[in-house]
Structure 1
Amino acid sequence: MAQWTDSLPEAANAYLEGRRLDEVECIVSDLPGIARGKAVPASKFARQDYFHLPDSIFYQTITGGWAEAAGDEGFIERDMLLRPDMSTATAAPWTADWTLQVIHDAFDKTGAPIPYSPRNVLKRVVQLYRDQGLEPVVAPEMEFFIVARNIDPAQEIQPMMGRSGRPAAARQSYSMTAVDEFGPVIDDIYDFAEAQGFEIDGITQEGGAGQLEINLNHGDPVALADEVFYFKRLIREAALRHGSFATFMAKPIADEPGSAMHIHQSVLDLKTGENIFSTPEGEETDAFRHFLGGMQKHLPAAIAVLAPYVNSYRRYVKDHAAPINLAWARDNRTTGLRIPISGPKARRIENRLAGMDCNPYLGIAASLACGLLGMMNKVEPAAEFHGDAYEGDEDIPRVQGEALDLFEEATDLHEVLGREFARVYAIVKRAEYDEFLQVISPWEREHLLLNV
């Protein structure tokens, strides 16, 4: 036991200091970003190099159904080998005993990475950058709502009750008083994050009722996607401790802004460590423009990954803090692609289209893939937009079906993300969309039942 625990990350070792480890949760992200896996006694984990799960976990829809994505051999549920990445070992501080979580990577029986495992998809994209002598860097921003417990899906989601005994108020962006309303939940978020070794760059109140944002420091795309994957779980657990729910739905409340996962992106030269978006004189480079151009050209097809559910498209509403087009501009939050104020070394491109409901591995992979295609093919962007981009034309899909059509035709994007991933993802998402189309909504019953 001591042999493998001695090599744990510093935060995990600190969490276990003077304590007996009881259990290890061996987990992998499925397509929606749900943690799948097994909980095993620590003594058993010390003896195992891998464990098995069926590959069918990646064919499952968000409702628990099965998509016809198994391929030519049929639905035989082949075993995958799940091998631990011990650099991801971290505490599960909300459990009753002393538990660690460890993210695993998925391989087939020959040792080849499972191509539709989300973490493997992101690793593939990062490796394509490295093959070009480049290192992508990302910084995600996570928006989410703390809401009242909702155990009846027929009821609308309501803001949570704050410390004052009043429901959380909307239109209080950056209000510290509003943040204080969630004090006990936020305290637990900080405590859980510290126990897990995660550094929070800041927490702010966003524009929605009970909507918060957590910013993370920039770094390696896979490591940051791991953090977002872990953060979603720890935030949910913190909220549950205080009789509320944390939701990462893109649009949980009809009249409130939606929740995004803004992705800040830059690219370093592997040899020099310099930001390739800036010249030595501090000017913008061809690579910067081409990355932008690739985003504008390929993002329409990638929206199906950045906005993975029917609810995701309810977020793209004019004047509701979400973009409606692919315009780019400097220091302009109305555009889909924003260039934040920064010095040359920190020059970056912010993708504001990704919803917080996307799988962090896949959302980051798709965004980086668009930029890579732009740099490889020297795609020039449109002219910078000036003014309010909500006054511009809409040029992104408005419904999931349209987004899936574009994704299924995007062979260039498939080559970067992996053709087998693209095949499986499209089939699973099409199955979810078809299932949704069978649901009759309250709007239809109210306005069509007696009027048509």
Structure 2
Amino acid sequence: MPPPKKDVRAAARASKKRPPAFLKNLRGVKNWKEAGAWLEWRDIEDIECITPDQAGVARGKMMPSSKFTSNTSLALPSAVFMTTISGGYPQDRGDFTYPADDGDLKLLPDLSTLSVVPWESDPTAQVICDLVHQDGRSVEFTPRNLLKRVVRAYEERGLRPVVAPEIEFYLVHKNPDPDYPLTPPVGRSGRPIGGGQGYSIAGVNEFDELIDDIYHFSEMQGLEIDTLIHEEGAGQLEINLRHGDPVELADQVFLFKRTIREAALKHDTYATFMAKPIQGQPGSAMHIHQSVVDLASGRNIFSDESGDETDAFRHFIGGMQRHMPSALVMMAPYVNSYRRLTNAASAPVNTNWGYDNRTTAFRIPRSDPSARRVENRIPSSDANPYLALAGSLACGLIGIAEQIEPETPVGKAANEDEIDLPRGLLEAVGLLESDDALQAMLGAPFIATYGAIKKAEFETFMEVISPWEREYLLLNV
């Protein structure tokens, strides 16, 4: 009788050799053989196969790890990626129609994203998946594939975009009743958190244990936080991520949102990425720092050999200025998003740009020439990171391709000027649908699907009677 088979961990312990280095990877493996060993090394019982929908919500399937590594075919109905944030379905109209058979889309795990799920009680892992049709074609309208499409457009020109997102969010008192306004949480001092705490260390310390869990959960997933600060709002925090590849950074934001929500729930608190969750408090943004590197030389194309600004730098800004209003619905995807984009608030209201000017839409931070970049301050934190990055980078690339000259930089406060961004969801959808350059860059299937979803969400919103209407119209009209 043959000896009993030893598992990977027991074999490694019994051997005098060190275990393969990939077993200790916090995030990602190269192939299925490594994936099987990685899961066994950690005694993983279940694995979540997830992918972002149009809202950035994790959709997918959970299965035993043994099934995951046995060449199991994974699929989800195509309609899952055509639903509204409330779970409804848009009507067939214009260029948008549901597939007649609502056929399955295949999930293809990206093993470079394999990591543990640290908040689960049983040993659990997660992996982000791409979506393809049954014949292997990429599904054009899904968020991760869309961002890959834009990155490929850069590669076809010998370029590589580099990004660094900053994500703001609120911690709020647990509130299961949507009819009541959200309120700031109570910190370790025992008092409700007040506003005006920008960059306050004491403000961060109010949530020491929760933040410790955010760091701990992030470290276990191989996610790297660059800095964490308290923002101006009551209980508003911001996490900055290190710069890198757009798809990888979008993956990190996708996972960070899950992580922060779970850490907050552990402390009986909500974390929300709504753009404007509390009346009278600042909105929450997802600022995106962007630069572009030449693939052949590795040089930042925004600076020449002398360290001066290049035409490509100016044209990137020009593309952002001309096409960002059309891409706004990818940065501000909900009715609530437009409550943030108002005069004299800490958010842009137009497409001005300037040097180290935080009141403009496109800020050029102070930096060495090699780190010259454009910060897009328009996106709100409710945006799907894949779509926000895809839309922002698409605008910049169109500017480079069409050599669009920017307007003169602004050296004064620009957030009290006339608002020249779309003022609402339907206007923003209309601009996206009518922009031929963005349609060519992003593809007609995405434009049609996303536009239909946003129109359906607006109609659902219009069914709700707000407190403002009851207060000012009930007895006065």
TM-score tier after normalising by the smaller chain length = over 0.9
One-letter amino acid of the structure 2 residue matched with residue 236 of structure 1 = R
Q: Tell me, yes or no, if the aligned pair for 1:9 and 1:90 is still in contact at 8 Å.
A: no
Bigger Cα displacement from structure 2, 47-56 vs 31-40: 47-56
Q: Tell me, yes or no, if the aligned pair for 1:8 and 1:89 is still in contact at 8 Å.
A: no
Q: Tell me, yes or no, if the aligned pair for 1:16 and 1:98 is still in contact at 8 Å.
A: no
1:363 aligns with 2:396: no
1:74 shift after superposition: 4.3
Matched residues in 1 for 2:389 and 2:23: separation?
A: 26
1:30 aligns with 2:53: yes
1:296 aligns with 2:321: yes
Q: 1:59 matched to which residue of 2?
A: 82
1:235 aligns with 2:260: yes
Q: Deviations over 1:259-297 (max 9, x none)?
A: 100000000000000000000000000000000000000
Written as runs of structure 1 = structure 2, the 5 A alignment for 1:55-94 is 55-68=78-91, 71=96, 74-94=99-119
Q: 1:338 matched to which residue of 2?
A: 363
Q: Deviations over 1:280-339 (max 9, x none)?
A: 000000000000000000000000110000000000122221111110000010001000
1:6 shift after superposition: 8.4
Q: Tell me, yes or no, if the aligned pair for 1:49 and 1:83 is still in contact at 8 Å.
A: no
Q: 1:174 matched to which residue of 2?
A: 199
Q: Deviations over 1:1-24 (max 9, x none)?
A: 969x98667114899786411111
Q: Tell me, yes or no, if the aligned pair for 1:290 and 1:371 is still in contact at 8 Å.
A: yes
Bigger Cα displacement from structure 2, 16-25 vs 279-288: 16-25
Q: 1:204 matched to which residue of 2?
A: 229
Where do 5+ consecutive residues of structure 1 fail to align? Answer: none
1:128 aligns with 2:170: no
Matched residues in 2 for 1:205 and 1:76: separation?
A: 49
Q: Output the aligned Cα RMSD.
A: 1.8
Written as runs of structure 1 = structure 2, the 5 A alignment for 1:219-234 is 219-234=244-259
Q: 1:214 matched to which residue of 2?
A: 239
One-letter amino acid of the structure 1 residue matched with residue 432 of structure 2 = F
1:155 aligns with 2:180: yes
Q: 1:394 matched to which residue of 2?
A: 419
Q: TM-score, normalised by structure 1?
A: 0.97
Matched residues in 1 for 2:385 and 2:187: separation?
A: 29
Matched residues in 1 for 2:365 and 2:96: separation?
A: 44
Matched residues in 2 for 1:19 and 1:380: separation?
A: 54
Percent of aligned positions that are identical: 52
Where do 5+ consecutive residues of structure 2 fail to align? Answer: 1-6, 10-19, 30-37
Matched residues in 2 for 1:263 and 1:365: separation?
A: 11
For these two proteins, the number of residue pairs brought into alignment is 451
Q: 2:34 matched to which residue of 1?
A: none
1:419 shift after superposition: 1.1
Change beyond 3 A, Cα 1:92–1:27:
same
Change beyond 3 A, Cα 1:152–1:415:
same
Change beyond 3 A, Cα 1:9–1:218:
farther
Q: Deviations over 1:332-356 (max 9, x none)?
A: 1000100000000000000000011
Q: 2:32 matched to which residue of 1?
A: none
Match of 1:322 among 309, 322, 347: 347
Q: 2:271 matched to which residue of 1?
A: 246
Q: Tell me, yes or no, if the aligned pair for 2:320 and 2:399 is still in contact at 8 Å.
A: yes
Change beyond 3 A, Cα 1:11–1:333:
same
Change beyond 3 A, Cα 1:8–1:131:
farther
Larger Rg: 2
1:46 aligns with 2:69: yes
Q: 1:10 matched to which residue of 2?
A: 25
Match of 1:261 among 262, 265, 286: 286
Q: TM-score, normalised by structure 2?
A: 0.92
Q: Tell me, yes or no, if the aligned pair for 1:49 and 1:84 is still in contact at 8 Å.
A: no
Q: Tell me, yes or no, if the aligned pair for 1:28 and 1:35 is still in contact at 8 Å.
A: yes
Q: Tell me, yes or no, if the aligned pair for 2:27 and 2:113 is still in contact at 8 Å.
A: no
